[in-house]
Amino acid sequence: MNKRILATTVLFLSTFAWGLQQQGSQPPVPPSVPEKVGDEMCLVCHDTYTSVKRTPHASVECEACHGAGSLHVEAGGGMDLSFKNKDFSWVKDQCQDCHRQAPHLSNFSRSAHARAMVSCTSCHQAHPEQARAGMLTQAQKDLCASCHQASVAQFRKPFHHPVMEGAMTCSSCHTPHSEGQRRVAFGTEIECASCHTDKKGPFVFEHASLEVNGCEICHQPHGSVNPKMLTRSQVRLVCLRCHSASAGTAGSQPFAFHDLRSPRFRECTVCHRAIHGSNVSSSFLR
């Protein structure tokens, strides 16, 4: 592990050094203060961007995002007002001028996407060529897949949530603009509850590990090679992770004397069928 960490760190720093070398000089500071010219002037040249008028940005002036354009017009064009190739912080600040106060976007700076310098325009198009939900640059599953290939591979496992089939999207469960990256269904209930309503209780007899550690303690939510998307190939291997005698840990008492060599006792959920919690049986028998 340590050698791997060292190797990846060296690789990381080397790439940084190379990247720094590749980085060109910053654009020169304009000699004078530009003034606004209005949308009509912008559309004289940029007539392909009339599509913005059919988006939620319809009422936003071009120069509200791109900045005043008089110098750009005088110079006959140029990339100085374009969002392309602008750094993460610049793009984020421009978009957050308006979107900062949207409650679901207000935590973006603490999100994993912000930490990784994924700027707004990496995923969204302010004036899209094709109408898409959320003004995304691609269909959501393709967009997320372009960085999160490991998740795509998980969704291709034999037992998986139907994201690639189109029944769900990544944002059904995840919040890309927020710390924690988990959507909340109802108040304090996590998103799993919006579909799996029968698993969330509350129950008279709660399965404590589910309440404390969440569904992922037993299941792999993207996909698994194991039945029921379990973290282990057989039920008893999942259960024994907690339910074996160890001093001072939850779940190790009372001790069960099942003969695990018998197939009857290897499939714990044959008897303990209400394993997500029960209103009748303290050992989840029904």
Binding positions for other proteins, 26-65, rule CB under 8 A: 51, 53-54, 56, 58-59
Tokens of 72: 């750009």
Query: Does residue 204 bind other proteins (CB under 8 A)?
Result: yes
Nearest-angstrom CA–CA distance, 104 and 273: 38
Q: Which of 35/213 has CB closer to other proteins?
A: 213
Choose which of 3, 4, 31, 32 interacts with other proteins (CB under 8 A): 4
Does position 6 bind other proteins by CB under 8 A? Answer: no
Q: Candidates 10, 61, 78, 130: give the one binding other proteins (CB under 8 A).
A: 130
- Residue 194 within binding range of other proteins, rule CB under 8 A: yes
CA gap 43, 185 in Å, rounded: 43
Cα 60 to Cα 170: distance, rounded to the nearest angstrom: 29
Binding string, residues 207-236; x marks residues near other proteins by CB under 8 A? -xx-xxx---x-------xxxx---xxxx-
b/e code 77-104 from CB counts within 10 Å (16+ = b)? eeebbebeebebeebbebbbeeeeeeee
Q: Per CB under 8 A, which region of 7-15, 27-35, 37-45, 62-70 contacts other proteins?
A: 7-15
Give least dist CB 164 to other proteins, A. 10
Among 38, 78, 90, 142, binds other proteins (CB under 8 A): 90
Dihedral through CA 109, CA 113, CA 82, CA 129, nearest 10? Answer: -130
Q: Does 112 bind other proteins (CB under 8 A)?
A: yes
202 binds other proteins (CB under 8 A): yes
What is the token pair recorded at 18?
A: 């190379």
Interface of this chain with other proteins, residues 145 to 184, rule: CB under 8 A = 146-150, 152-153, 156-159, 162, 165-168, 179, 184
Binding of other proteins at residue 118 (CB under 8 A)?
A: yes
* Residue closer to other proteins (CB basis): 73 or 237: 237
Helix (H) or strand (E) holding 277: strand 277-278
Q: Quick one: 35 or 279, whose CB is closer to other proteins?
A: 279
| Cβ(91)–Cβ(122) below 8 Å | no
Give whichever of 72 and 272 is closer to other proteins, judged by the CB atom: 272
Ranges of beta strands (E only) in 142-267 are 159-160, 184-186, 189-190, 205-206, 223-224
DSSP sequence for 39-54: HHHHHHH-GGGGGGGG
